């Protein structure tokens, strides 16, 4: 029973690793992006697979409660605001609560999670936003998916080799066909 469950898990992880490898190739050739926006909650984001990485970026334009007098102030985005860790990177505009928000590709070589927030209020205008970015390279996904199958394969190889090692250890050492017993 344990061996059959192990075989099923091996197949599942190998299929997932192959799928991640194909997605990696696809991201280098064509890429993929899916964006969304919810104007009621003032949230927008995107999931993208580009350049050998998969990343998720999300922006919230109402992260903090606003006081009653400031709620009527006009929401104005600062000129230097972008969602992402690479301000000079390729931009994609996603309209969020009627405001075109620029999303940029992550900084090259970035792995992991980043989050930031910004607020400002001046002369009848206000700005409040928070965003996060999660970046994972495909090579890391493939390696993590292959760790289990490699460990099981190595264990199985050693299980096959072990009887031969024991047999070699039990053999009497000989030199020129003579026993070394004195």
Between CA 16 and CA 68 the distance in angstroms is 51
How many domains does one find in the chain?
A: 1
Question: What pLDDT tens digit does each residue of the chain (182 aa) get?
Answer: 778 888 899 999 999 999 999 999 999 999 899 999 987 888 999 999 999 999 999 999 877 777 777 777 887 888 888 999 888 888 999 998 888 999 999 988 888 988 888 888 887 888 888 999 999 999 999 999 999 999 988 888 888 887 776 666 666 555 555 555 55
147 assigned to some structural domain: no
106 assigned to some structural domain: yes
Between CA 115 and CA 102 the distance in angstroms is 16
12 assigned to some structural domain: no
* Domain range enclosing 34: 30-137
58 assigned to some structural domain: yes
């Amino acid at each position: 029973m344990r061996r059959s469950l192990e075989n099923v898990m091996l197949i599942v992880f190998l299929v997932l690793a192959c799928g991640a490898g194909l997605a990696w190739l696809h991201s280098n050739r064509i890429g993929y992006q899916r964006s969304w926006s919810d104007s009621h909650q003032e949230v927008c984001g995107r999931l993208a697979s580009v350049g050998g990485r998969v990343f998720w970026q999300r922006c919230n334009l109402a992260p903090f409660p606003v006081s009653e007098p400031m709620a009527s102030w006009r929401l104005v985005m600062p000129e230097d605001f972008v969602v992402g860790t690479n301000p000079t990177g390729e931009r994609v505009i996603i309209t969020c609560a009627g405001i075109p928000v620029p999303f940029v590709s992550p900084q090259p070589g970035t792995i992991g999670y980043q989050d930031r927030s910004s607020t400002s209020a001046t002369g009848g205008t206000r700005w409040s936003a928070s965003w996060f970015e999660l970046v994972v390279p495909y090579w890391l996904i493939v390696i993590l998916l292959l760790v289990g199958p490699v460990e099981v394969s190595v264990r199985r190889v050693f299980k096959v080799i072990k009887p031969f090692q024991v047999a070699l250890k039990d053999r009497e050492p000989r030199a020129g066909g003579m026993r070394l017993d004195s």
